[in-house]
Amino acid sequence: MSSDLEGVREVLRVAELTKNYGGLKAMDSISFAVNRGEVMALVGDNGAGKSTLVKALSGAQPPDSGQILINGQPIELRSPRDADDAGIGCIHQSLGLVDALNVPENVFLGRELQRKRFGFLPELDHASMRAKTVELLERFGVNVSSLNKPVVKLSGGQRQSIAISRLLLQDVSLVIMDEPMAALGVDEGQRVMDLVSTMRDEGISIFIISHNLEHVFQIADRIAVLKNGRLVDVVETATTSRDAVIKMITFGSAN
């Protein structure tokens, strides 16, 4: 990261983000900020608008109105490429893997390594992508029996690791994860949590969605609560009780 940005405290700020699906307000004028180096959790009931917010921040589905600022600069995220270029890495709820492709192809999809055949014909550098993939997965201590298998044959945890590996290829300052622990076993879930800590220690800001409040209280510095497309509040984990958060999720207020 360039040093002149170190002075900017907020890695992300959103202002009055709104998204309508027909008559339904999936996001209703949402405003908040994520600070540099912090882990912020986003919680809320099913249908609260969490994934809609993630899609707006990843360029997958632009909002109807509102503003997004990265490192203090207003930016328009019209496509996943734009988010990529802005240093936002994202893992979507559906993981975004292509079942039919193998492990390195999934890890490198969208940012392939290439070489020149006969000195001029660009072609995929399968060998380098394989080697780099092995390196990335080893860094997580992930077991993947065969890199050549289409990823449809891998377990939930293995698929999750591949989705996360993708992020590490990118120069990210903010990582957004939409329920990365869902459908994982206890051990695998804990491993993802460890990974989040590692990324935070490397100075990456994390915006993580989870239904698991135990995880949220373990990892997050602050918690944003969403209900029916509206931001209820943003609270400090250290000074908030789990009951208060549950009340906010269910009733839209802590009392």
Partner 1 sequence: MATNVKSSTPANNVGHADRHWLLQSVGLTAVVIVLAVIFTIINPRFATLANLANVMTQASHYIIIAVAMTFVITSAGIDLSVGSVLALVTVIGFAFIKSGMNPALAVAIMFALGAVIGAFTGTLIALVKIPPFIATLGMMVSLRGLALLHSAGTMHFGLPETLTWLGQGKVFGVPVPVIIAMTVAVVGAWLFNHTKFGLYVRAIGGNREAARLAGVPVNLIEILVYSLMGLVTAIGGLVMIARIDSTQATIGTSIEIHIIAAVIIGGTSLFGGRGTIYGTVLGAVLLSMMTNALVIAGVDNFWQLVIMGIVVLLAVAINNLRENRIPVFSSLMRRSR
Using CB under 8 A as the binding rule, whether residue 81 contacts partner 1 is answered as yes
String of contacts with partner 1 for each residue 160-179, x by CB under 8 A = ------x-------------
Residues 100 to 159 in contact with partner 1, rule: CB under 8 A: 100-102, 105, 109-112, 114, 117, 122-124, 126-127, 130, 134, 137-138, 141-150
CB of 42 to Mg ion, least distance (A): 10
Which residues have CB under 8 Å from 19's CB, separation 6+? 25, 26, 27, 49, 52, 56, 61, 63, 64, 229
How far is Cα 215 from Cα 129, in angstroms, rounded to an integer?
33
Helix (H) or strand (E) holding 40: strand 39-44
How far is Cα 1 from Cα 165, in angstroms, rounded to an integer?
19
Which amino acid, one-letter code, is at 36? R
CB of 65 to Mg ion, least distance (A): 21
Using CB under 6 A as the binding rule, whether residue 96 contacts ligand ATP is answered as no
Q: From 60, 64, 57, select the one nearest 13 (Cα to Cα).
A: 57
Helix (H, G, I), strand (E, B) or coil at 243: helix
- How many Cα neighbours within 13 Å face the side chain of 64? 13
String of contacts with ligand ATP for each residue 75-94, x by CB under 6 A = ------------------x-
* Angle ∠(151,43,156) on CA atoms, nearest 5: 15
When the beta carbons of 52 and 106 are compared against ligand ATP, the nearer one is 52
Using CB under 6 A as the binding rule, whether residue 24 contacts ligand ATP is answered as yes
Residues that bind partner 1 (CB under 8 A): 58, 60, 79-81, 84, 90, 92, 94-102, 105, 109-112, 114, 117, 122-124, 126-127, 130, 134, 137-138, 141-150, 166
Residues that bind ligand ATP (CB under 6 A): 21, 24, 26, 44, 46-52, 93
